[in-house]
Amino acid sequence: MNRHLRGLLLLLVFASSLSLATPASAVSAGLEIFVGGQQMGDGVEIGCVDNPDGVSAHCQVQDLVYGGEYPLVNIDEINIDIDSDPVVTGVTGVTNLFSTTQQITLLFTLPIAPIPGATLTGGSFRGTVTDNNGDGATISAPTGSALYTSQIDGVNQQTLYPNPNSFAAGAFLSANIPSTNFGSPIPSLLGPAALVSIGIQLDFNLTGNDSASFTSNHVVQAVPEPQTGALLGIGLALVAIWRRRQLR
């Protein structure tokens, strides 16, 4: 192999290693809880434990009660995985402790390393609503909002099940909220630069003393650089030419 071809292949390997580089450690996600538009407390730092890979973490909390003297909502479960790609995915369970319908908003935020160029985004959402007291249960998207909204740098991006979507369960029964998504195959929808954070907002009206559970995710990745793709193509073409010459 001549020195020019060898140099180009070394450049190709270096460029590929840059494109595959990932941050060295995982970060913690935060949770803000709102009832009727009023924030409960100053936010929750979800207990996250780093995985051995050094770039992801698992976060889990249970039975967080909010509302002070008169409890309003119980966070039954938060069981999510975060990744520095970045990715937020997992399960959230909530019970309305009040006797009447309440609007409950959960906002998950994951700090990220800046992605200054265009991004590819995608996400999914599904869930259940369960009646706990024999009078049926209903979950619905609030006016001007959606059950699921993806966020980049605190700005709303894509919605799933916007108002007036609603789902109902009979007495002491559960009903499914069917799975839906955007940017499928995830991620493939062109999005803006992501400089500070990505997030998921879950926003819903839930009938009194009833429960809901959600599985949701949000994925954001940098758009592959065309220069890297072009360099890879040139390198592979030159290797093919060299091999053909060697076989003569």
* CA–CA separation, 161 and 180 (whole Å): 8
CB 81 within 8 A of CB 56: yes
Cα 148 to Cα 65, 111, 208: the distances in Å are: 22, 19, 21
Query: Is residue 125 over pLDDT 60?
Result: yes
CA dihedral in degrees (208, 210, 215, 218; nearest 10)? 10
Spatial separation of the C-alpha atoms in residues 109 and 125, rounded to whole Å: 17
Angstrom distance (rounded) from CA 191 to CA 152? 9
pLDDT at 233: 54
Q: Which of 85, 175, 158 is nearest to 124 (CA)?
A: 158
Q: Is the pTM of this model over 0.85?
A: no
Q: Distances in Å between the alpha carbon of 3 and those of 9, 39, 108, 234, 248?
A: 10, 64, 52, 16, 20
Q: Which residues pair with 10 in a beta bridge?
A: none
pLDDT score at 234: 56
pLDDT of residue 112 exceeding 70, the answer is yes
CB 135 within 8 A of CB 237: no
- Average pLDDT, stretch 20-42? 70
| DSSP 8-state assignment for residue 225 | P
In single-letter form, the type of residue at position 19 comes to S
CA–centroid distance for 20 within its chain: 21
To 5 degrees, how large is the angle CA 156–CA 160–CA 161?
125
With a pLDDT cut of 90, the percent of the chain lying above it is 64
What does the pLDDT read at residue 11?
34
The band of 241, judged by pLDDT with boundaries at 50, 70 and 90, is: low
What length is written for the chain? 248
Two tokens, residue 168: 């109902």
Q: What mean pLDDT do residues 198-214 have?
A: 98
| 128: amino acid identity, one letter | T
CB atoms within 10 A of CB 72: 18
Q: Which domains does the chain have, with CATH numbers?
A: 31-226 (2.60.120)
Average pLDDT of the residues in 81-85: 89
Hey, is 63 helix, strand or coil?
A: strand
What was the pLDDT predicted at 69?
76
